[in-house]
Structure 1
Amino acid sequence: MDHSLLVIMLLGIVEGLTEFIPVSSTGHLLLAGELLGFNSASSATFDIVIQLGAILAVVVLYARRFTAVATGLVRRDPQAIRFGRNVVLGFLPALVIGALAYSSIKAMMQTPMVVAVALVVGGIAILVIERRTRAVAVTSVEDMPFRTALGVGIVQCLSMIPGVSRSGATIMGALSLGVDRRTAAEYSFFLAIPVMLAATAKELWETRNALGDTDWTGIAIGFVVSFVVAMLVIRAFLAIVSRHGFAPFAWYRIVVGTIAILWLALR
């Protein structure tokens, strides 16, 4: 990648801002890359690896909870076991489908129009789901029934279409299955860790022969920027969701997606 420091930092900011809110970080990175001319063969590796910076923000912010879960698993505490079980169940469908559909997913990631359309459709879906949300039955990840966790994991697979949003699919799936807003958002954060680690490992393995040409300095800078920005965004996101729900993000998706469709069609 031969790109300026400013472009790399801008993309890191985009990743940190969008990874955990239901607007599709991958979609935004693809559209931003198209706008900024960041569309080389190695840009997909950059986009995926810098997402780990945002994932690290979750690890840091929830370090005490993860430590408590790890300790509880050693002691065979039922709450910790249910937490671990639900994260695994939510991750498994993405692991299986991601491995089977890697080539198709990769192809769609090179098609900005798919992203633009998915942003609009996803925004409409969020508005519909918010208005039809069933009664809250689950208020913590530990209390989530295994069928609910697995169901959310299956819905999460829709996010393999660029522009759908992993967090958006996960959160809306959880809301549809009776999980409260804050727990749905936090569950999405926790599922991001194994999902993105697996996606990064898969990408690095598939592109292993070209890694010598990868701009690791640029990736490191994007990683750090996305980490710092995500640290600030996560708590703000939870506050907004608790007060206003997900409708503001839905309307944002619709507006940005519509603008992107017009720009891509007319350029």
Structure 2
Amino acid sequence: MTYFQAILIAIIEGLTEYLPVSSTAHMIFTSSYFGIQDDDFTKLFQVAIQFGAILAVVVLYWRKFFDFKRFGFYIKLACAVVPALGLGLLLDDYIDAILGKPVPIACVLIIGGILLLFLDEYFKNPTIAKEEDITIKKAVTIGFWQCLAMMPGTSRSAASILGGMQQKLNRETAAEFSFFLAVPTMLAVTVYSVFVKTYHTTELKGYELLLQRPENLTLFLIGNLIAFVVAIIAIKFFIGVIKKYGFKPWGYYRIVAGIILLIYFNYN
């Protein structure tokens, strides 16, 4: 992986992590275009730079995350993240096998886009407009919806926002709770990928890959910094768009992007 490739992938991660367009799909397509997707360090990098995106949410919503008097907020997040952690451990090898196949991911991108076109019309009468009114039961249900994102191309953000709106959250509250839920979810995935997971090609753990060459650690640090800065901009932009236009723009984007990528990978 070159510095240019790392910077580009990090920008893509920051832009797409919290949008309902699947950051995983975009990073996979980019690395596949460069011919580096099968490299173990690339697979680690695509997960590890999520840490920068995590910090973006914590910084933007620092009052929420560091208000230790509101213990219920932490309980909701802890309960909501359990389904994804459990299924993630069980399906990790299967997910890895799918990650290397751009065509099915492009198909999922299109299907998800079609669903987003009708999301606003289907969930018309929300009753929850703030996080304090989300019960633990609703939080866990949203956590199970988030598990749909284990299929690359689905989008963790889209799945959890869909779950939130199905549980009667309004658009902005569903999006913000999706951001909050991303923090423990992606932190757990990042820690697992760096310190626990063994990568099949090299038989090295993530931290061993980071320390294998000096430039690997440098790429990791640069990638997280870029993902952090870009994610802050993307989150503010996303909230503004859904307030004004809803989810249809993202649905159209997914469909067009999926079709273009299907054509590209079928002819290359």
**Counterpart residue number, 2:201:** none
Equivalent residue letter for 2:187: L
Q: Secondary structure at the match of 1:137?
A: coil
Name which of structure 1's ranges 257-266 and 105-114 shifts more when overlaid on structure 2: 105-114
**Counterpart residue number, 2:27:** 29
Task: Specify which of 133, 136, 149 is matched with residue 123 of structure 2.
Answer: 133
**Counterpart residue number, 1:77:** none
After TM superposition, give the deviation of residue 82 of structure 1 in Å: 2.8
How far does the alpha carbon of each residue in 1:120-173 deviate from its partner, in whole angstroms, 9 at most, with x for none? Answer: 011111123222114111111221122211111101000010010000100011
**Counterpart residue number, 1:248:** 249
Whether the 8 Å contact between 1:11 and 1:32 is mirrored in structure 2 is: yes
Whether the 8 Å contact between 2:110 and 2:254 is mirrored in structure 1 is: yes
Equivalent residue letter for 1:133: F
Whether the 8 Å contact between 1:129 and 1:176 is mirrored in structure 2 is: no
**Counterpart residue number, 2:42:** 43
Equivalent residue letter for 2:113: G
Q: Counterparts in 2 of 1:1-267, with a 5 A limit?
A: 3-39=1-37, 40-68=39-67, 70=68, 72=69, 80-204=70-194, 205-207=196-198, 208-209=204-205, 210-211=208-209, 212-213=211-212, 215-267=216-268
How far does the alpha carbon of each residue in 1:99-122 deviate from its partner, in whole angstroms, 9 at most, with x for none? Answer: 111111111111111221110011
RMSD: 1.3
After TM superposition, give the deviation of residue 246 of structure 1 in Å: 0.9
Report the TM-score, using the length of structure 2 for normalisation: 0.92
How far does the alpha carbon of each residue in 1:22-76 deviate from its partner, in whole angstroms, 9 at most, with x for none? Answer: 00011110011111223212211000000111111111111122122x2x0xxxx
Equivalent residue letter for 2:245: H
Equivalent residue letter for 1:60: V
Alignment partners' CA distance in 2, 1:174 and 1:200: 24
Structure 2: runs of 5+ lacking an equivalent: 199-203
Report the TM-score, using the length of structure 1 for normalisation: 0.92
Alignment partners' CA distance in 1, 2:137 and 2:182: 19
Name which of structure 1's ranges 158-167 and 101-110 shifts more when overlaid on structure 2: 101-110
How far does the alpha carbon of each residue in 1:7-29 deviate from its partner, in whole angstroms, 9 at most, with x for none? Answer: 11111110000000000011110
Structure 1: runs of 5+ lacking an equivalent: 73-79
Q: Identical aligned pairs, as a percentage?
A: 37
Whether the 8 Å contact between 2:118 and 2:248 is mirrored in structure 1 is: no
Q: Secondary structure at the match of 1:142?
A: helix
